Chain A
Amino acid sequence: MRKVLIANRGEIACRIASTLHELGLRSVAVYSEADQGALHTRMASEAFAIGAAEPRASYLNAQALLEAAKRSGADAIHPGYGFLAENADFAAAVEAAGLVFIGPAPEQIRTMGDKRAARELARRAGVPVVPGAEGDDPAGLARAAERMGYPVMVKAALGGGGKGMRVVADGAALVEAVESARRVAASAFGDPAVYIEKLLEGARHIEVQVLGDGRGEAVHLFERECSLQRRHQKVVEESPAPGADEALRARMAEAAVALAKAVCYRGAGTVEFLVAGGTFHFLEMNTRLQVEHPVTELVTGVDLVRQQVAVATEGRLPFTQDQVRRRGHAIEARVYAEDGARNFLPQSGDLVRLRWPHGAFVRVDQGFEAGDRVTVHYDPLLGKIIAYGPSRELALQRLTGALDEARVHGVITNLPFLRALLRAPAVRAGAFDTDWIEREFMAVFVPLATAPAPELALAAAVVAEALGLAAPQKSAPAGLAPACASDAFGALGRWRHPGLD
């Protein structure tokens, strides 16, 4: 393997390219019309245009990707996450074209992609699954829901990652929800099949990172907790999981490895569980690198992309289970171009001023630099900030500091939301479940986000403009945040932000 095409964009394409370069491999970026000149194209060894802005014409266009691979002379394709990463037909087409697909075998993707088949496999591997029911008839699903008790979740059989998913509180809303979910599933996944799962109240989302050699050997790299979610989308992830004790973590890891071995899993994957009432239930298996993989990398010292490449080229794992050690705690926050004060609407625009945080124990996986443009066409993830510490408390403290240091001007982001979230006592205490943000935290955050700004902030806006300071600058200064930042806030006195006490 000499050259790898990265069939993705944004932060994950940049992150994959950096490991490829470390390995002495060349990287090939692909880009849509909307991503011309984007950071991932600047980072790669070479870049090829693959089509129009709509994902279907570019990042989901298997034909265009294979052509770019051929033109560039790439001998392998890394799919990243999202887009075609869990598309079995694409993986098969890559292999049929004589290229290496850096990921699981096509049939493994297909099996795990059908959540009904995945549940059946988990059951057979002796892994407890979330109670649920399958079928095409809304009335039949309604009867099953009645038996297991509301609330239930309606999910697309070929879905995953929250897409097309909805919560139903009672029988009256089930039929409409099933029909709506079937429509979304048909248009998004080409198959209207849905299934229902009992909503486990107060559950925590804990997942296990696995690596398989494709021949029956598999190891785990411990778990990550991703219970801090907003509308089923993860916001903050960490390892170790505060929501499970050592014994439960070990049992989950064992179950995940059993499942990976049962399917002779190849490459990196994640087995997701819900933990409630002291036990765990299989949710689904993601056959790709996860957005939140950096927390695992920080606590184990293992570069997951490097392992993916190793398995793809050598067909074996470079280490055994007892060589994997975990040390300390890592926690990640996803920085999105979303307006927390306006129901998290996705934002677009030019990143006029952008400063990612620095620090000895802070990692930033970024997809953008100052001057880059955020468009409406794709997921609004700007980057991820990950902090490491010997203890959870110290890792949290470092992440909070890093979020304060981050500066994004030109596009509204969820940074104020993340800063408030990381300071919430429940987050500090590790006392939350997957519904906690919506059930409790939003009631704290919304008044804070919509409170009138302090008079001094408005004064700053007009004075800066009058002095000609506020004009956009091409290059942001590299200096750190003023050392007195928090003191400065304390000095705001009567202009103090009312929501912050």
Chain B
Amino acid sequence: MRADFRDGERIRSVELTPEGAGTWRVSVDGSEFLIGAEPLDGGRLRLVTPEGASVAEVTMAGSRRFVRLGNLDFVFEREVGVRRGGGAQAGGLESPMPGVVTRVMAMPGDAVKKGQPLVALEAMKMEHLIRAPRDGRIRQLNAQPGQMVAGGATLVELEEAAGEKE
């Protein structure tokens, strides 16, 4: 079994091979080790490594994996198929959270400078300004004053500034 997980900003690759008798060969980002795994009650798991035993509790929620290990919590996102582009790498400027658009300060076709405010969003008791991450030209605007937007919704699509490499 092979799976990619998003761990914060990183993609972590995990490969699992059963070795029998509750033992598994695990490879995480190419580093290999053996672990023993024994199911406990309540969906918990006792993991034994050469360095000791620990208890893990894992919950699947959609593509997310919530892992409690010892005293710590981790959340991984199972990556399936094509990776979604995010933030500055893609051309889109996303709404950081659900909110209401209060002002739109640019028009499609406008040339904008890095740092220029484009859209104002009210959410969580604050006004958030969405600014141009670099110089460029507005290709499309998906925001109107008063409009409710979901977290992650693409509000502005930006083209590279003229003169830069396509």
A121 smallest CB distance to B (angstroms): 25
For the complex, is A30 an interface residue (Cβ under 8 Å from B)?
Answer: no
**B53-103: which residues lie under 8 A (CB-CB) from chain A?**
53-62, 64-76, 96-98, 102-103
Q: Determine the residue in chain B with the shortest Cβ distance to A449.
A: B8
What would be 27 A-B contacts, judged by CB atoms less than 8 Å apart?
Answer: A183-B102, A184-B126, A345-B151, A352-B60, A352-B66, A376-B150, A409-B59, A449-B8, A452-B10, A453-B76, A456-B49, A457-B69, A458-B5, A459-B26, A459-B28, A460-B58, A463-B37, A463-B47, A467-B37, A469-B39, A470-B58, A471-B43, A472-B60, A489-B71, A491-B54, A491-B70, A494-B51
For the complex, is B139 an interface residue (Cβ under 8 Å from A)?
Answer: no
Of the candidates B16, B29, B76, which one forms a contact with A466 in the assembled complex, judged by CB atoms under 8 Å apart? B16
Of the candidates A162, A350, A411, A455, which one forms a contact with B31 in the assembled complex, judged by CB atoms under 8 Å apart? A455
Q: Are B14 and A484 in contact (CB under 8 A)?
A: no
CA distance A461 to B66 in the complex (A): 8
Of the candidates A187, A407, A486, which one forms a contact with B68 in the assembled complex, judged by CB atoms under 8 Å apart? A407
A-B pairs, 7 with minimum CB distance: A491-B52, A489-B70, A477-B42, A493-B51, A464-B58, A409-B59, A488-B54
CA distance A455 to B65 in the complex (A): 14
A351 smallest CB distance to B (angstroms): 9
The A-B contact count (CB < 8 A) is: 213
Interface string of A462-481 (1 = CB under 8 A from B): 11111101111100110100
CA distance A455 to B98 in the complex (A): 33
Task: From known contacts A458-B5, A469-B39, infer whether A489 and B75 are also in contact, taking CB-CB under 8 Å.
Answer: no
Task: From known contacts A346-B98, A452-B12, A462-B1, infer whether A407 and B122 are also in contact, taking CB-CB under 8 Å.
Answer: no
For the complex, is B107 an interface residue (Cβ under 8 Å from A)?
Answer: no
B155 smallest CB distance to A (angstroms): 15
For the complex, is B35 an interface residue (Cβ under 8 Å from A)?
Answer: yes
Q: Are A489 and B54 in contact (CB under 8 A)?
A: yes
- Counting contact residues on chain A (CB < 8 A from B), the size range is 35 or more
Residues of chain A lying within 8 A (CB to CB) of residue B66? 352-353, 409-410
Q: Are A491 and B51 in contact (CB under 8 A)?
A: yes
Q: Of B44, B49, B59, which is in contact with the most chain A CB atoms at under 10 Å from its CB?
A: B59
Q: Determine the residue in chain A with the shortest Cβ distance to B37.
A: A463
Q: Determine the residue in chain A with the shortest Cβ distance to B38.
A: A467
For the complex, is A349 an interface residue (Cβ under 8 Å from B)?
Answer: yes
Q: Are B9 and A450 in contact (CB under 8 A)?
A: yes
**B23-38: which residues lie under 8 A (CB-CB) from chain A?**
24, 26, 28-29, 31, 33, 35, 37
For the complex, is B111 an interface residue (Cβ under 8 Å from A)?
Answer: no
For the complex, is B162 an interface residue (Cβ under 8 Å from A)?
Answer: no
Of the candidates B37, B67, B69, which one forms a contact with A492 in the assembled complex, judged by CB atoms under 8 Å apart? B69
